[in-house]
Amino acid sequence: MWDEDDVALMDSHGERDVESLDPIELPNETEGRHLGLTSAVFLILNRMIGTGVFSIPSSIYQLTGSVGWSLALWICGGFIACCGFSVYLEYGLQMPFSGGEKNYLDRVYTKPPKLALTIFTVVTALLSFSTSNSFAFGNYLQMGLGLEPEISATRWIGCITVGLVCLLHSRFPHAGRTAFNVLGFAKVFILALIASTGPLLALGIIKIDGGNVAHHNFSEMWKNDGFGGGLYDIGVALMRISYSYRGWETCNMVLGELEDPERTIKRAGIIALATITTLYTLCNYAYFAAIYKEDVANSGVLIAGVFLLKLFGESAASHVLPLIICVSNLGNILVVTYALSRVVQELGKHDILPFSKFLASDKPWKTPAAALFMHFVMTVLTLTLPPPGDIYNFVVDLSTYPVAIFATMITIGLILVHRNPEKYSWNPEKSYRAPLIGMIVFLISNFMMLVFPWIPPQIPKTGLPYYASPLASVLLIFVGLGYWCIRHNDYLHGHT
């Protein structure tokens, strides 16, 4: 299947074609394929279940203006996630080794040589941090303990947490995997509890003060309630929901560590996406079964707190919700740190970044300890250096836009591959072929994520320009381009 000129990237657990990419030759003794179906499922679930389902349902209802459309869009978000998974599944089955998107970009975009790989490497290295979840963990931990959150304490808690997680994955990798399995189960269990209350409330088995909320909200659920519902509003709502579903691609980042990767990634993805789509939709149903829709519209990011207040009283709402979000944040930190360190380690094998041999090493514990150390350093820097406020939020938000850029390139690349599979030595009949409709839907969703941040909001949310984050992301792409030009000066002179 592979020709001499093909870009064949094998991770440390398989054979490696070194002709086109000149990766560093290092003895690599990482543990091998040790992630079974259960760990693969919880790897995805931990990454997907963030704070979105606890915070954005109110804004989705405001944008759609309809209870029915709010619920329908959560189902549509699951469909879009399935379309994205179909694209990454075909790539993963063709190249079942760790590294994820860096493999796919470099396989398809071969000219100019290493350009796509270099840009992805530079952007990934600069954005290799878990700042958002670490900061949120520190903040909500203080709230859950009944303390008033302080910015300095939040940062210290975040730094210590990510440091302990990196140490855990470096020195005790089995314990790290056990930890994200346990937290993944806890997150699913929490969502299942919330989701199960919806039907019980609607049937009157559970009663709350305020009368029959479910009848009030669902009797005319498709009727517009006097706000939202425009095409632009629906697009913004769908974009926000799509962000809440991201994380289904996590297994692609660690495919070299999956047992029977072709079989495991298929089953894990299907199980995780079916679980999340069902739970997200039923959780939103539960919110509307417990809270009058007028209150939903005004609850903002506190909708889960209002829900707990209705069911369990003020004490539970003020203490339980922050701890639930802590569990969600910690699970995210564990899997993002685990998966991203594998990507950085694979990037280190191509001698693009300074200290590449260090990043690619498995020493001293046969784990990507060096890549984990880099992740820790980047997280600490982004947690502690930016001042509080708009600048800090800008740094945290910076990582979202490049995700859409690379996902768009990968989807377009697969369409090109399908048009001329011989050029890319592609054999879709070997395993799986992503449907065209899935590629188009996923491409449109990412196009929306690329365009919408450039549209001025009606009400500015920060003191920074609304386009600051996407503009900075584009500048990062140009930084990668400039770095490639410096590294490949001979190529540029040969083509002028």
Where along the chain do its domains lie? 37-385
**Model pLDDT, residue 393:** 74
**Model pLDDT, residue 414:** 96
**Model pLDDT, residue 1:** 33
Classify domain 37-385 by CATH number.
Answer: 1.20.1740.10
106-117 pLDDT per residue, tens? 999 998 999 999
Better-predicted residue by pLDDT, 492 or 468:
468
**Model pLDDT, residue 386:** 86
pTM over 0.85: yes
* pLDDT for 16 beyond 90: no
Helix (H), strand (E), coil (C) string for the chain:
CCCCCCCCCCCCCCCCCCCCCCCCCCCCCCCCCCECHHHHHHHHHHHHCCCHHHHCHHHHHHHHCCHHHHHHHHHHHHHHHHHHHHHHHHHHHHCCCCCCHHHHHHHHCCCCCCHHHHHHHHHHHHCCCCHHHHHHHHHHHHHHCCCCCCHHHHHHHHHHHHHHHHHHHHHCHHHHHHHHHHHHHHHHHHHHHHHHHHHHHHCCCCCCCCCCHHHHHHCCCCCCCCCCCCHHHHHHHHHHHHHHHCCCCHHHHCHHHECCHHHHHHHHHHHHHHHHHHHHHHHHHHHHHHCCHHHHHHCHHHHHHHHHHHHHCHHHHHHHHHHHHHHHHHHHHHHHHHHHHHHHHHHHCCCCCCCHHHHHCCCCCCCCHHHHHHHHHHHHHHHHCCCCCHHHHHHHHCCHHHHHHHHHHHHHHHHHHHHCCCCCCCCHHHCCCCCHHHHHHHHHHHHHHHHHHHCCCCCCCCCCCCCHHHHHHHHHHHHHHHHHHHHCHHHHHHCC
Place 315 in a pLDDT band, splitting at 50, 70 and 90: confident
Average pLDDT over residues 315-344: 92
What average pLDDT is seen over the chain?
88
